[in-house]
Amino acid sequence: MITSTSFTKPDSRRRLYVPAFIASLLLTICGMARAATVYDSAGFESPRFMLTQNMDGQDPIPPVGQGPWQQDNGTSTAVVEGNNPVEGAQSITVTRVGTVTGNTRWGIVKPVTPSGVSNIVEILFDMRVTYAALGYGPLFGIEAYDDSLGGRKLIGSLFLDAGSGDVVCQEAGTGLYKATGVHLSRNVHHHYKLAINFTTKTCSLFADGALLHIESFVDPSAVAFTDAPITTLAAASSSETGKAYFDNYKVNTTTSAFGYLAWRGDGTINRWDVGVSSNWFDGITTAAFTNGAAVVFDDSGSNSPAIDLQGTLLPGSITVNASNNFTFNSTGSISGTGGLTKQGSGTLTLNGSHSYSGGTTVGAGTLLVNNSNGPGTGPVLVQTGGTLGGNGSIAGGVTVLGGGVLSPGTSVGTLTISNALTLTNGAVLRFELGTNSDHLMVSGHLRLSGAFDITDAGGFGPGTYNLISYGSTISNAGVFIASAPVGYDYSINTNTPGQINLVVTTPPLPPAAPSGLAATPVSPTQINLAWTDNSTNETNFLIERSLNNVTFNQIALTGAGATSYPDTGLAGNTTYYYR
């Protein structure tokens, strides 16, 4: 996508920006949009802008934020129409004539000073742009300005090229026109929005609900919104003609506040306390945690050092969605009725004791419980793609779904579930075994199912390994060994009450091959075979015969310990080969 605007025009018909000719987005609206208002419910806030009133000729110089206002050469006309066949009731028709060079802006004024959480100003409008006469045309849309302190400042813009269908804006810092790389259908009614965020100093361009482009302020010193005129820009050509229809123009204020607190941390102490440390971001500004607030940890926040929990924390909910690893260290604790959700590929390690009752869901990544009462008192659900492990204790019942992993220990260790454990079909139980081994303790009912994944923790060999101890009843839906160190035989033993054991044995050596095979003809139709048995653990001997010493076929299968075999029914004057 070409976004530069600083090139030399070889002729007057080139734009001031380079259109992106490969369509990256095509939005179309079926049916007709019926206008309810031209501007909110109060018209254009000017007694001069009335039904059928031609607005051309109103030209305050310089513009001072009083609308309607017109700038430059007056190369367009704007008329309020009351019976447009597409837009329906009242709409504004802007027609650009192509005999002179110039830009025209029809002012719509509604001063807004962003404050507090209302840090976003949204300009919404519907627009239909007709094809330009020569296949290239002017830009139709809106510009947003700040004239609150005198000296008009351009904030940003949203245009559609009547010729190419390019969505165009003005470049941050320079004000040069640039193609966004997005194309829309012309002669189709689209719903547009320019969302101006005064916190991030960015303009977001939307069409039909889809975010098309984000551009920083043209003038970053803008601090307020005063007006967003309907605009037709001729660029550098005097031959560009076209027409656009506007309605449903509206100015709103809204907020970028998240509805939750996002962890930022300070990278030094990373303290999570109540009402003191401003280590959170609410979408607008930094903030301190207050009890009841939902909190989110993602990759935008500091994960080093470990999060230092202080006091009793009562979050509405906790979501950890990060590829980075987070550790909760604490002299404090997480309590209350909120729950914890683990998403993202990273690992969350819970140290300390916590009593929150809202439950814990491990949807992705790993949750390590390394404390006396880790994920609260509520139920724990391990979903597909999630892993639960650690050396601590879990108070609530645990359910592991198919594709979820239960892996006791952090490397090698014991995980205690002081409740029931339900393993569904497809669940994975991951154990490291050896001189020191992983162990899982379950106080309640054990529903056994899934696959065991065994790895060597060092010193692994033949023997019996106690994988799971349980203190109540058991139901066995079937388990199997999915992977394990090679060179051993394995079996799962559930015969001992309260234990699930893995029995590892060394397979017997293969029997030694016999030797000294001798073939003795005893008649024209019989050959006696004899050999030496060199093994004590064979189960049988397989005897094969061939006529060409290439292709052999089985002729007999003797019992263990045999040392001879009579081959009868043969043909005379024939050579036979045996093995």
Q: Where are the domains of the chain?
A: 1-256, 381-505, 515-578
Q: In this predicted model, which residue has the larger pLDDT, 330 or 385?
A: 385
**pLDDT, position 251:** 81
* pLDDT 10s digits, 73-82: 445 666 666 5
Q: Which two tokens stand for residue 37?
A: 């208002």
Residue 572 has pLDDT above 80, yes or no: yes
Residue 16: is its pLDDT beyond 60? no
User: For the domain 515-578, what is the CATH superfamily, name and number?
Assistant: Immunoglobulins (2.60.40.10)
Which residue is it, tokens 């098309």? 212
C-alpha 295/C-alpha 318 separation (Å) is 5
pLDDT band at residue 14 under the 50/70/90 scheme = very low
Which pLDDT does position 381 carry in this prediction?
A: 97
What is the Cα–Cα distance from 140 to 217, expressed in whole angstroms?
A: 20
pLDDT higher than 70, residue 490: yes
pLDDT at 47 over 70: no
Average pLDDT of span 271-287: 93
The pLDDT assigned to 515 comes to 94
Inform me whether the pLDDT recorded for 8 exceeds 70: no
- DSSP strand E in 459-534: where? 463-470, 474-483, 489-493, 499-505, 515-523, 526-532
Contacts of 264 (CB under 8 A, 6+ apart): 279, 280, 281, 286, 300, 301, 302
Per-residue confidence band for 238, with pLDDT thresholds at 50, 70 and 90: low
How confident is the model over 462-466, as a mean pLDDT? 98
Given a cut of 80, whether residue 405 has pLDDT beyond it is: yes
Cβ of 504: how many Cβ atoms within 10 Å?
A: 19
Q: To the nearest whole percent, how much of the chain has pLDDT over 70?
A: 78
Q: What confidence category does residue 42 fall into, taking pLDDT thresholds of 50, 70 and 90?
A: very low
Give me the residues paired with residue 517 across strands.
Answer: none
Closest CA to 34 of 92, 94, 95, 90: 90
List the structure tokens of 387: 């892993």
Question: Partners of 559 in the beta sheet?
Answer: 540
Residue of 20 and 409 predicted with greater confidence: 409
pLDDT digits (tens, 9 = 90+) for 166-206: 999 999 999 998 999 999 998 888 999 999 999 889 999 99
Q: How far apart, in Å, do the first and last CA atoms of the chain sit?
A: 74
Task: Please count the other Cβ atoms lying within 10 Å of the Cβ belonging to residue 486.
Answer: 5
User: Is 159:169 a contact under the CB 8 Å cutoff?
Assistant: yes
Q: Residue 151 above 80 pLDDT?
A: no
Q: How far apart are CA 443 and CA 445, in angstroms?
A: 7
Question: Model confidence at 483, in pLDDT bands (50, 70, 90)?
Answer: very high
Q: Is 170 in contact with 218 (CB distance < 8 Å)? A: yes
Length of the chain: 579
DSSP 225-239: EEE--EEEE-TT-S-
The predicted pLDDT at position 468 comes to 98
For residue 65, what pLDDT is reported?
A: 34
1-256 has which CATH code?
Answer: 2.60.120.560
